[in-house]
Structure 1
Amino acid sequence: MRRGAPGGRGCLVRAAHTGLTWGITLGLFLYPTDLRRQEEQGQLLQPLGFVSLVLCSILLYFIVSLMDPGYVEQEAEEKEGVREEQKAMIPQQVPTALRLRRCGYCMLKQPMRAKHCQDCQHCVRRYDHHCPWIENCVGERNHPLFVVYLTVQMGVLLWALQVAWSGLNFEPSWLWLQHNLLLLLSFLVIVVFTVVVLLLLVSHLYLVSCNTTTWEFMSRHRISYLKQCKEENPFDQGICRNLWKFFCACRLVAWENLYSQGDGDIV
């Protein structure tokens, strides 16, 4: 069961995003844009392609928004406790250097790179950030789909930008402004969202290529396992391997094993 922000707020945010998306899409067909002209001429390939891409972006939005971002569960802690008890019965020649931190809010033992989210009121594995746009955390499970969603959304916005511009034949008259006000406002909204999504996409691709997160990048001086590590990024395995593991790994990663290969010694 998903544990996230208050349901009412999440529903309002998702309804606003969906309504704005379909409202702008409808406006692009009501005004004399390239899509409208192609539709009137019976050339439906591009209009159908645009609507399909919009629908794909909305489906990705809801998947990323509603899925489990990687919540740390009680069952995982109990299994970890059993494994530690079994290890304790076997003589260890090399003592374990890493000690997992216990969350001060939900009292669960946090895996490395996990963080407690005040909005979701839960610890999230490989926590990146809490995104108010999707009203959900971005963590180990949904971060790859979040980047895919940003990529598809970027494609939609760039296409919509070109379509909206094709319908704006500027004329210095008040009558023209009255007839094209909604299309002009839609164009300005698309420009703003294009800039925001572009910045988000570029920053996340950079962070993913370095195998770091927004939280780690912004708060390195406050994170114990980074602050006490001699390496700048103990999880970086090279751009190609980082991207491959991020997009193609279908399982949760025990970051403690990768970290122990570095010089750090305490979580």
Structure 2
Amino acid sequence: MQNVFRTGFLVRATHTLLTWVITLILFLHNTDLRKYEERGELLLPAFFFLLVMLSVLLYFAVSLMDPGFVLADTVKGGQGSDEEMESMIPQSLTPRLRRCGYCLLQQPMRAKHCQTCKRCVRRFDHHCPWIENCVGERNHRWFVVYLLVQLLALLWALRIALSGISPSVSWETWFRVNGFLLVALAVIGVSSVVVALLVGSHLYLVSVSCTTWEFISRHRISYLKNCRDEENPFDRGVLCNLWDFFCICRTVMWEQVYQRSTLNPV
């Protein structure tokens, strides 16, 4: 709970407050939700409320979760030290393991130091200012699940908001009657577009086993800059990539994956 009251508290509080204010507007205005309630049909309103609740819970889970911080030079899981692993992997095939210039820890492959968190993160994807946390090996799948749930909630909210727009005899009266709902509609619409773009980009990157950082900075990353433009040493095919990402919960030794790919080029 200590992390809640650090620098990310304001962002998280704003997200939560905005979510529930918009939800309250949708329930109180003359929308389909209000009409269902008045008729005593509570199933769909209850489902919508639970979906919003789930999105908020996932937001906090991803925001407060350890994204995969590199804690020490020792590799977990009984694999031995990084120095021992380095001696077992031919250096002609695998780029030399490097120490972080900031925290001085030896970085596993695909890790990167985050200037905001001031920590190295395993399979670093990006630092997300909206969750005030890095997205990395341990929370990336939950970040994508959160985006999917959030997109579903936003699209449903968009439909509900549109159902509550009431006609009027003049523009002035129309804006006065629908003012709060129009503000909610604008926020929902912009958020829907942003989240949809994030969902599409992350699902694409996951399907090819690439991170946002690797996609943007490919030409500067030691283990990728010498690969051909379409070559990715971590790509096992779309189905395998999706299965590994969503269903396999473990720390991956990417140096060994890279070595196998280099020894057995497709």
TM-score between the two structures when normalised by the length of structure 1:
0.90
The 5 Å alignment of 1:120-135 reads 120-135=117-132
2:73–2:105 contact (8 Å) kept in structure 1: no
Aligned AA (2:234): F
Task: For residue 127 of structure 1, report the CA deviation from its aligned partner.
Answer: 0.3
- Decide which of 58, 66, 73 is 1:68's aligned counterpart: 66
The 3-state SS of whatever aligns with 1:137 is strand
Note if contact 1:129-1:139 (Cα within 8 Å) is conserved in structure 2. Answer: yes
* Aligned counterparts of 1:61 and 1:75: Cα–Cα separation in 2: 31
The percent of aligned pairs where both chains have the same amino acid is 60
**Is the counterpart of residue 188 in structure 1 residue 186 in structure 2?**
yes
Partner of 2:56, secondary structure, is helix
Q: Match of 2:233, as an amino acid?
A: P
Post-superposition offset of 1:81: 6.5
| 2:113 partner SS | strand
Shift of 1:7: 4.6
Aligned partner (choices 135, 156, 159) of residue 156 of structure 2: 159
Q: Which of 130, 133, 137 does residue 134 from structure 2 map onto? A: 137
Gaps of 5+ in 1: none
Counterpart secondary structure, 1:241: helix
How far does the alpha carbon of each residue in 1:16-60 deviate from its partner, in whole angstroms, 9 at most, with x for none? 000000000000011100000111111100111000000000000
Specify the code of the residue in structure 1 equivalent to 2:20.
W
Equivalent position SS for 1:192: helix
For residues 166-202 of structure 1, the C-alpha deviation after alignment (integer angstroms, 9 at most, x for no partner) is 0002333312211211101100110000000000000
CA separation in 2, counterparts of 1:83 and 1:25?
50
Q: 2:13 aligns with which of 7, 12, 15?
A: 15
Higher mean Cα deviation, 158-167 or 227-236?
A: 227-236
Does the 8 Å CA contact 1:116/1:123 hold for their aligned counterparts? Answer: yes
SS in 1 for 2:63: helix
Partner of 2:49: 51
Give 2:146's match in structure 1, choosing from 130, 137, 149.
Answer: 149
Indicate if the aligned counterparts of 1:208 and 1:242 stay in contact, CA closer than 8 A. yes
* CA RMSD, 1 decimal: 2.4
State the distance in 1 between where 2:5 and 2:258 align: 37
Q: What is the aligned counterpart of 1:228 among 215, 226, 229? A: 226
Q: CA contact under 8 A between 1:77 and 1:109: conserved in structure 2? A: no
CA distance in 1 between partners of 2:85 and 2:260 (Å): 23
Residue aligned with 1:107, SS: coil
Give the stretch that moved more between structures: 171-180 or 66-75.
171-180
Structure 2 counterpart of 1:102, one-letter code:
R
**SS of equivalent to 2:107:** coil
1:29-48 alignment runs, 5 A limit: 29-48=27-46
Q: Which amino acid aligns with 1:207?
A: L
Spell out the pairing of 1:77-88 with structure 2 (5 A cutoff): 82=81, 84=83
Answer whether contact 2:73 2:106 (CA < 8 A) is retained.
Answer: no
Aligned residues: 258
Question: Does the 8 Å contact 1:72/1:122 carry over to 2?
Answer: yes
Question: By how many angstroms is 1:66 displaced?
Answer: 0.2
Give the Cα separation in 1 of the matches to 2:261 and 2:188: 45
The code of the aligned residue for 2:97 comes to L
State the partner residue of 1:252: 251
- Once the two structures are superposed, what CA deviation does each residue of 1:141-170 show, in whole Å capped at 9, x if it has no partner? 000000000000011000000000000023
Aligned-pair distance for 1:82? 4.3
- Structure 2: 5+ residue runs without aligned partners? none
Give TM-score scaled by structure 2 length: 0.90
Residue 98 of structure 2 aligns to a residue whose secondary structure is coil
Change (3 A) 1:8 1:83: closer
For the Cα contact (< 8 Å) 1:106–1:122, is it kept in 2?
yes
For residue 111 of structure 2, the aligned residue among 110, 114, 120 is: 114
Give the C-alpha shift of residue 74 in structure 1: 1.6
Q: In the superposition, relative to structure 1, how do residues 256 and 179 fare at CA in structure 2: closer, same or farther (>3 Å)?
A: same
